[in-house]
Amino acid sequence: MELGFFTMPIHPLEKDWRQCMREDQEAFVLADELGFAEGYVGEHVTDLAENITSCMIFIATLASRVKGMRLGTGTVNLPNTHPAHVAAQVAMLDHLLDGRLIFGISPGGLLSDAEIFGNLDNDRNAMFLESIDMILSIWTKDAPYDLNGRFWNVSTARTLMAEIGQGIVGKPMQRPHPPIVVTAVAPFSKGVTAAAARGWDPISANFLMPKWVASHRQCYIDGCVQGGRTADLANWRVAKSIFVSEDPAQAREYVMGPNSPYLYYYRQLLTKLVKNGRANLFKEDQSMPDEAVTLEHVMDRLVTFGTPDKVADELLAFRELTGQFGTLLYAGHDWVDTDLARRSKILMAEKVLPLINDAEKNKAEAAI
Tens digits of residue pLDDT in 181-206: 999 999 999 999 999 999 999 999 99
Tell me what the mean pLDDT of segment 37-51 comes to: 97
Taking a C-beta distance cutoff of 8 angstroms, is the pair 291, 284 a contact?
no
Q: What is the mean pLDDT of residues 9-22?
A: 97
- pLDDT value of residue 314: 98
Q: Which of 266, 269, 117, 107 is nearest to 183 (CA)?
A: 107
Q: Residue 286 — very low, low, confident or very high, per pLDDT cuts 50/70/90? A: confident
Q: Which helix (H) or strand (E) holds 203?
A: strand 201-204
Give start and end residues of each alpha helix (H) in the chain: 17-33, 55-60, 83-96, 111-116, 124-140, 190-197, 210-226, 248-256, 261-275, 295-302, 308-322, 338-347, 353-367
Q: What per-residue confidence (pLDDT) applies to 290?
A: 87
Cα distances (Å, whole numbers) of residue 20 to 5, 41, 73, 335, 368: 17, 13, 18, 9, 49
> Which pLDDT does position 336 carry in this prediction?
98
pLDDT at 135: 98
Residue 70 has pLDDT above 90, yes or no: yes
Reduced to 3 states, what is the DSSP secondary structure of residue 182?
Answer: strand
* pTM of structure: 0.97
Residue 215's pLDDT band, with cuts at 50, 70 and 90, is very high
- pLDDT the model gives residue 247: 98
C-alpha span between 338 and 110 (Å, rounded): 28
SS3 assignment, position 204: strand
Instruction: Give the whole-angstrom CA distance, residue 281 versus residue 274.
Output: 9
Residue 276 confidence class, pLDDT cut points 50, 70, 90: confident
CA atoms within 13 A on the CB side of 66: 32
pLDDT for res 291: 87
Q: Phi and psi dihedrals of 350, rounded to 5?
A: -95, -20
Task: Tell me what percent of the residues of the chain surpass a pLDDT of 70.
Answer: 100
In order of 111, 167, 270, 334, the CA distances from 273 in angstroms are: 10, 42, 5, 20
| Residue with the larger pLDDT of the pair 274 and 120 | 120
